Structure 1
């Protein structure tokens, strides 16, 4: 990827302060079938707060922090008006930081996508056609690189109808051919940077998509055939069932162990809150 292309995928620090804009089902049928969105507005709407969370007010947050510090000082017997020595910096791994309703929603009856086998599972529900997923991906790459050995990260592509569905099949065809990881960032680039694929702008045929994967070692004819295979059809159905059960009605959505759907106001906070929930699960929470 050249520098110009990379600059269009990677969010600048100032842009990361903007609220998370998620992608949602684009067809009337899928929108009607999906539960009400709980995470964020559509990506092409003006940036605004997540529906069920207030906008972050830095001044209010600072005031709250000062109030908490004063309360701590009183509890510890510190003289009024004096601030006690600062406590050691907390990290996202502090179990107490994971609070239901603030950092995550608990999914009733939620199940992991794969058997845990002693691992902590983190799923990202995504789709290549989703602009928010394309913006989120560079941060995910950095975050994944530092995951501990007991955490298993899994992509689950979202079949929200329309041109979303061929890319679910494409992901699982690439997985079957052993090139999913190698091609992952490149397909985002083909849709959102190079525009050699249409994504949500139009209909991409299996042959169009297969030609894009040829850059990563796939035989186009074999790839298109694999997209329609029994194995891919089965994985497509499983992804659709999982997403419905987890009420993941927008992308990107992060889910831990099938039980914790991460809440966040922006991309960075989504990963921080995922870390907090991972720590809670590891501690037996």
Structure 2
């Protein structure tokens, strides 16, 4: 009889202990409204924080590469997201200049920017490389492709080697490592936070985290 009473008592005691623990569980960070995204898991603080060039606006930068298929997949979502941004947020782009073809495409980006044709060529170049599967891998190939979009080929080639483009390439080569970027696409918020492409899930989550960090920075600016 004693052994049976003990066998019944043990579950009853465990259940009672669980009920007593409920108030304590209610006070855990998750129940108390912890932040939905965690540093080191969903985003990464940049230390030291990097200066921005957006003035009073919150700066958001996509570090990308035209050769990156994931950047190509993100591009249309990012373009749509950009249209929803409030006036206090500014989205810019920075090519990752890792060397080789990354530098060639980085020069193409800054050349298009310098010549004022970036808006009409940025997304189409992704499409040409990753949807149409066109082989555009040299300076001459790029000059010919931009020529199809109304850009003077000789002027494009000259601008690619200009002082202005060389300076921007040098700046990107120095800045991307300071952000801690080792892969693309990466999104930098306010020079303080890095969001990387998710291993699982969609780019929608990447942009949701970015939105949350923008709000975090906005709140910090108001408080500061």
Residue aligning to 1:255: 188
Contact 1:120 1:257 (C-alpha < 8 Å) held by counterparts: yes
Residue by residue over 1:76-116, the C-alpha shift from the partner in whole angstroms, topping out at 9 and shown as x without a partner, is 9xxxxxxxxxxxxxxxxx9943432233111111214x423
Residue aligning to 1:105: 44
- The 5 Å alignment of 1:119-268 reads 119-198=57-136, 204-263=137-196, 265=198, 266-268=202-204
Q: Which runs of 5+ in 2 are unaligned?
A: 1-21, 28-32
Q: Using the alignment, how far apart are the partners of 1:267 and 1:95 within structure 2?
A: 23
Q: Using the alignment, how far apart are the partners of 1:174 and 1:95 within structure 2?
A: 44
Q: Using the alignment, how far apart are the partners of 1:273 and 1:156 within structure 2?
A: 19
Contact 1:197 1:209 (C-alpha < 8 Å) held by counterparts: no
Quote how far apart the aligned CAs of 1:264 are: 5.1
Quote how far apart the aligned CAs of 1:212 are: 0.9
Contact 1:256 1:274 (C-alpha < 8 Å) held by counterparts: yes
Q: Using the alignment, how far apart are the partners of 1:255 and 1:262 within structure 2?
A: 6
The alignment partner of 1:122 has SS state of: strand
Which consecutive segments of 4 or more residues in structure 1 shift more than 6 A? none
- For these two proteins, the number of residue pairs brought into alignment is 193
Quote how far apart the aligned CAs of 1:196 are: 2.5
Residue aligning to 1:13: none
What is the alpha-carbon root mean square deviation over aligned residues?
2.4
Contact 1:263 1:273 (C-alpha < 8 Å) held by counterparts: no
Q: Using the alignment, how far apart are the partners of 1:144 and 1:277 within structure 2?
A: 15
Residue aligning to 1:12: none
The alignment partner of 2:174 has SS state of: helix
Contact 1:95 1:283 (C-alpha < 8 Å) held by counterparts: no
Q: Using the alignment, how far apart are the partners of 2:131 and 2:193 within structure 1?
A: 33
Deviates more, 1:251-260 or 1:97-106: 97-106
Quote how far apart the aligned CAs of 1:247 are: 1.1
Quote how far apart the aligned CAs of 1:163 are: 1.1
The alignment partner of 1:97 has SS state of: coil
Q: Using the alignment, how far apart are the partners of 1:120 and 1:212 within structure 2?
A: 34
Q: Using the alignment, how far apart are the partners of 1:207 and 1:264 within structure 2?
A: 32
Quote how far apart the aligned CAs of 1:177 are: 0.5
Query: TM-score, structure 2 length as denominator?
Result: 0.79
Larger Rg belongs to: 2
Quote how far apart the aligned CAs of 1:263 are: 4.3
Q: Which runs of 5+ in 1 are unaligned?
A: 1-70, 77-93, 199-203
| Structure with a larger share of its residues in helix | 2
Residue aligning to 1:280: 216
Q: Using the alignment, how far apart are the partners of 1:178 and 1:139 within structure 2?
A: 23
